[in-house]
């Protein structure tokens, strides 16, 4: 297929073109890469193929310091490790000249980084086959013009068949088919601009809609004859209200826009677009990041150039201190109820806690929507969670999400769906806790999460937006219509039955509940000593999270306890607003008395770029971050837990669920 116009009308494997099978047996992957071994689909089963290949595996955080195509290809699959060694040495995929790659279920789960799709594209691989794809990764492939198919299709190609292009595109809506058949999003945009493509009108007529559908319908550009209505599967052009990028991704956005429109490019609605310096703020102090210092600085410089050129909101660090993590600050400053928000990070869905529709996109898609103020959307299906009752005092929204991950997400109920949260139990959760439900929707491989609005949310927003009143925000709230469609079902959850939860190292949906009859003992895992306890990230760096950390710390200090010997306990603020609040409440002194290391706002250890990262494979971390893929936060074993569990474990030196009064008082001057 090399050297031909892309995509061709017929797809076939030319003589000598190879197919790479990513198998659970890593020795087979190595033999294909290094010994010229060729496998055939007919000799393998679906169960032999590697599942849940996440974007950290395809391009780990440090590999994303590169923004040029050729450099991204060099580091393809740099995060796939076995026995402590890289399975793919530098340039291994690029030099092996594979035409296609095959894997198992949920290919590309994890963060929204487009470099994961680009590493295959720029290595010359244009055909991607898997049992299933994670939604954001699939969209990134579409935007790049990559052709994706199922396992039966690669079997037929290896048998010598030629497949029509339509076999790769027919499963998509008409608009997505046009994008793929044009070779990707930017070629499609140029074709449409030149008048060679006519945008099809949406054909859905009047119907009851859920909250996400109502928000998309209100922003339709290609409405049909019956008005603004959408249904799952519709492909529509929708107006975007706002978005943001950060120093990991802005350089590519800048490069794409400059390539498309020249050095004088501009963006739509810059007042509601932003750039953040939050992800790499502490990278300079991380030993394993020091070799990449020049690349990191280049990313910062290009982001500043983009901001200067476009005039978007500027959340750059000042004197080495960031205003905060993009998702938290955007939620505080400019995401309004009913907004449609897109940003270059998978945790953009945290904006759903503001009763907004928000999800992550790749750099190509973000550049296109920043350029035009519009984006192409395939209307997702929805799943609804009706919450009832109250959480137990030692249980948090993080535990609820780990429960949902271990049940609904692990069996695929949430895959590529909007997770809608409502019910009387939702109103019992603080606003910061509701944001956790939406933030971790991406760990569920959902499209996004969204919570219903109420007066408490309107008051929270009005406190932070001097120009708007409580009543202004209440007018923006939407409710689902009676009879609204939920393909994933409507599920009732009694919050009182949720126990403290953990997730095993390596996978956020591998949940372990504590024994609900004994909140102190985490069963099923035995005694697990910890070396590092970390509280922070967009998921767990909010005011309510700090209220939970300080609750545990205050009880420990009252019992004359300090962080256990040999344990490092880090707590990192999600924004300067959170930091200022903690100082105003007098919490800083309590943390210091307890032996906690406080960190200025930023992403830090969550992406392996700051204090709290493990140094060796034998270290154990208990962390309140959102995902625990191997290697994401250092080489050690990382357990996911709630802020309460993380803090309690830091004082006990082992993983343990918090329970008020759990600390035995120590005599003055005694060791903790």
Which element (helix H / strand E) includes 295? helix 293-310
Chain centroid offset of residue 82 CA: 25
Report pLDDT for 517.
Answer: 44
| Tens digits of residue pLDDT in 536-553 | 999 999 999 999 999 999
Mapping DSSP to helix (H, G, I), strand (E, B) and coil, where does residue 313 land? strand
Whole-angstrom distance, CA of residue 284 vs CA of residue 280: 8
Of 542, 506, 518, 500, which is closest to residue 649 (Cα–Cα)? Answer: 500
Q: Helix H segments across 183-292?
A: 185-193, 211-217, 250-261
Residue 451's CB: how many other CB atoms inside 10 A? 27
Report pLDDT for 393.
Answer: 96
Length of the chain as a residue count: 672
Contact call for residues 328 and 542 (beta carbons, < 8 A): yes
CA within 13 Å, CB half, 520 = 6
Q: What is the DSSP letter of 51?
A: P
Which element (helix H / strand E) includes 635? none
Whole-angstrom distance, CA of residue 457 vs CA of residue 486: 24
Q: Got the DSSP string for 403-448?
A: HHIIIIITTTTTTTEEEEEESHHHHTS-HHHHHHHHHTTGGGT-SE
Would you state the structure tokens that stand for residue 464, as one six-digit string? 């932070």
- Structural domains in the chain, CATH included, are 10-190 (3.20.19.10), 238-379 (3.30.499.10), 500-672 (3.30.499.10)
Averaged pLDDT for residues 181-190: 90
Mean pLDDT, all residues of the chain:
92
Residue 11's CB: how many other CB atoms inside 10 A? 22
Would you state the structure tokens that stand for residue 62, as one six-digit string? 């440090």
Q: Got the DSSP string for 124-156?
A: T--EEEES-B-HHHHHHHHHHT-EEE-HHHHHH
Would you state the structure tokens that stand for residue 160, as one six-digit string? 């010598």
Share of the chain above pLDDT 90, in %: 78
Would you state the structure tokens that stand for residue 326, as one six-digit string? 């993009």
Contact call for residues 361 and 245 (beta carbons, < 8 A): no
Q: Is the pLDDT of residue 175 over 90?
A: no
Of 285, 338, 325, 664, which is closest to residue 475 (Cα–Cα)? Answer: 338
Would you state the structure tokens that stand for residue 612, as one six-digit string? 């709290």
Contact call for residues 244 and 324 (beta carbons, < 8 A): no
Q: Is the pLDDT of residue 1 over 60?
A: no
Q: Got the DSSP string for 266-288?
A: --S-GGGEEEE--SSTTGGGSGG
Angstrom distances, CA of residue 153 to CA of 37, 119, 547: 21, 22, 53
**Torsional sign, CA 46, 48, 54, 57:** negative
| Tens digits of residue pLDDT in 336-366 | 999 999 999 999 999 999 999 999 998 999 9
Q: Is the pLDDT of residue 518 over 70?
A: no
Q: Is the pLDDT of residue 149 over 90?
A: yes
Q: Is the pLDDT of residue 526 over 80?
A: yes
Q: Is the pLDDT of residue 174 over 90?
A: no
* Residues whose CB falls within 8 Å of the CB of residue 633, separated by 6 or more in sequence, listed in order: 534, 605, 606, 607, 608, 612, 613, 614, 621, 623, 625
Contact call for residues 151 and 46 (beta carbons, < 8 A): yes
Averaged pLDDT for residues 580-589: 98
Q: Is the pLDDT of residue 520 over 60?
A: no
Q: How confident is the model at residue 519 (pLDDT cuts 50, 70, 90)?
A: very low
Q: Is the pLDDT of residue 6 over 80?
A: yes
Mapping DSSP to helix (H, G, I), strand (E, B) and coil, where does residue 393 land? coil
Contact call for residues 495 and 487 (beta carbons, < 8 A): no
Chain centroid offset of residue 547 CA: 25
Report pLDDT for 521.
Answer: 47
Q: How confident is the model at residue 170 (pLDDT cuts 50, 70, 90)?
A: very high
| Tens digits of residue pLDDT in 36-92 | 999 999 999 999 999 999 999 999 988 888 888 888 999 999 999 999 899 999 999
- CA end-to-end distance (rounded Å), the chain: 66
| Tens digits of residue pLDDT in 306-340 | 999 999 999 999 988 999 999 999 999 999 999 99
* Residues whose CB falls within 8 Å of the CB of residue 296, separated by 6 or more in sequence, listed in order: 65, 247, 280, 283, 284, 289
């Amino acid at each position: 297929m090399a050297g031909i116009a892309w995509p061709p009308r017929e797809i076939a494997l030319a003589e000598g073109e190879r197919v790479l099978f990513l198998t659970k047996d890593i020795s087979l992957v190595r033999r294909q890469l290094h010994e010229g071994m060729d496998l055939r689909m007919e000799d393998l089963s679906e169960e032999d193929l590697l599942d849940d290949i996440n974007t950290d595996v395809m391009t780990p955080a440090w590999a994303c310091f590169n923004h040029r195509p050729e450099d991204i290809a060099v580091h393809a699959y740099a995060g796939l490790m076995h026995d402590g060694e890289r399975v793919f040495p530098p340039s291994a995929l690029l030099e092996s000249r594979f035409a296609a790659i095959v894997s198992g279920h949920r290919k590309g789960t994890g963060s929204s980084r487009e470099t994961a799709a680009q590493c295959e594209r720029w290595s010359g691989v244009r055909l991607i086959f898997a049992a299933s794809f994670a939604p954001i990764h699939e969209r990134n492939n579409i935007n790049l013009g990559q052709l994706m198919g199922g396992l039966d299709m690669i079997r037929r190609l290896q048998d010598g068949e030629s497949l029509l292009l339509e076999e790769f595109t027919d499963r998509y809506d008409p608009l997505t088919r046009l994008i793929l058949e044009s070779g990707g999003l930017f070629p499609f945009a140029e074709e449409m601009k030149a008048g060679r493509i006519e945008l099809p009108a949406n054909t859905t007529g009047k119907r009851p809609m859920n909250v996400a559908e109502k928000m998309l319908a209100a922003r339709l550009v290609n409405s049909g004859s019956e008005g603004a209505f959408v249904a799952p599967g519709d492909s529509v052009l929708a107006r975007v209200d706002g978005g943001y990028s950060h120093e990991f991704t802005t350089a590519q956005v800048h490069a794409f826009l400059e390539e498309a429109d020249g050095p004088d490019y501009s963006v739509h609605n810059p007042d509601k677009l932003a750039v953040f310096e939050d992800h790499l703020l502490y990278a300079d102090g991380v030993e394993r990041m020091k070799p990449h210092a020049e690349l990191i600085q280049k990313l910062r410089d290009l982001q500043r150039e983009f901001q200067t050129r476009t005039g978007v909101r500027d959340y750059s660090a000042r004197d080495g201190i960031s205003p905060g993590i993009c998702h938290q600050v955007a939620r505080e400053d400019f995401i309004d109820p009913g907004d449609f928000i897109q940003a270059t990070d998978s945790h953009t869905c945290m904006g759903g806690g503001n009763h907004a529709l928000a999800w992550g996109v790749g750099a190509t898609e973000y550049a296109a929507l920043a350029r035009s103020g519009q984006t192409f959307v395939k209307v997702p299906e929805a799943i609804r969670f009706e919450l009832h009752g109250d959480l137990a005092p030692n249980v948090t929204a993080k535990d609820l999400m780990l429960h949902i991950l271990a049940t609904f997400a692990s069996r695929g109920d949430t895959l590529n769906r909007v997770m809608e949260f409502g019910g009387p139990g939702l109103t019992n959760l603080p606003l910061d806790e509701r944001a956790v439900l939406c933030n971790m929707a991406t760990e569920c491989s959902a499209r996004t999460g969204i919570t219903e609005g109420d007066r408490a949310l309107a008051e929270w927003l009005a406190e932070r937006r001097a120009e708007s009143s409580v009543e202004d925000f209440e007018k923006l709230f939407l409710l689902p219509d009676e009879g609204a469609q939920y393909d994933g079902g409507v599920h009732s959850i009694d919050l009182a039955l949720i126990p403290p939860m953990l997730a095993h190292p390596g996978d956020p949906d591998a949940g372990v509940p504590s024994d609900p009859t004994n909140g102190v003992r985490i069963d099923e895992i035995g005694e697990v000593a910890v070396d590092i306890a970390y509280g922070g990230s967009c998921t767990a760096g909010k005011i309510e999270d700090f209220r939970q950390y300080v609750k545990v710390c205050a009880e420990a200090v009252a019992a004359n306890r300090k962080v256990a010997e040999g344990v490092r306990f880090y707590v990192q603020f999600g924004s300067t607003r959170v930091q200022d609040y903690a100082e105003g409440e007098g919490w800083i002194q309590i943390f210091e008395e307890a032996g906690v290391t406080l960190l200025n706002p930023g992403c830090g250890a969550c992406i392996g770029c700051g204090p709290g990262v493990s140094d060796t494979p034998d270290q154990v971390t208990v962390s309140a971050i959102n995902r625990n893929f191997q290697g994401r936060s250092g080489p050690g074993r990382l357990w996911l837990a709630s802020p309460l569990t993380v803090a309690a474990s830091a004082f006990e030196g082992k993983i343990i669920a918090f329970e008020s009064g759990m600390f035995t008082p120590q005599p003055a001057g005694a060791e903790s």
